[in-house]
Amino acid sequence: MGSLVTLHLPPDSPVADLPWIITIGALGDDEEWEPLVCGPYERPHALALAQAVVAEEDLMAVVEPLLPLAGADAIRAEIELARSAADGTGDDLETETFDPDDGEPRRTTPGRPPTGDEVRAGFARIAAKLTTAS
């Protein structure tokens, strides 16, 4: 049984609408291999896929938003935000860990893994958002 880690978002968070990626790696220190990064996905698809992968294997999946930043200045601004958060001057991010067999209720239930067609439709929606964003 693996572990899934993601951001805890309020229901109306605009971050939920961003593209999301999944990083899957070894759960313990006994394995050494480069983590796999996949996506982008819509958040519900990313959560469901990650949960399906780690449900029966000793893997860790981190589901996080992908920031589609359109320039070096935007990237620098995000770096400054990250630095200020690390210095304790920014808002701390909460994380949620999902363990399918822990018997604890979850705040977010990813549901069944999406089909390939559903994922591809999500890719199309993400592409449309990215190409029409200002």
Could you write out the DSSP letters of every residue in 30-74?
A: T---PPEEEEEE-HHHHHHHHHHHHSSSSEEEEEEE-----SHHH
What is the number of residues in the chain? 134
Q: How far apart are CA 63 and CA 41, in angstroms?
A: 10
56-87 pLDDT, tens digit per residue, is: 899 999 999 998 887 899 889 989 988 887 77
119-130 pLDDT, tens digit per residue, is: 899 999 988 888
Structural element, H or E, at residue 122? helix 116-132
Prediction pTM value: 0.72
Q: How far apart are CA 43 and CA 114, in angstroms?
A: 11
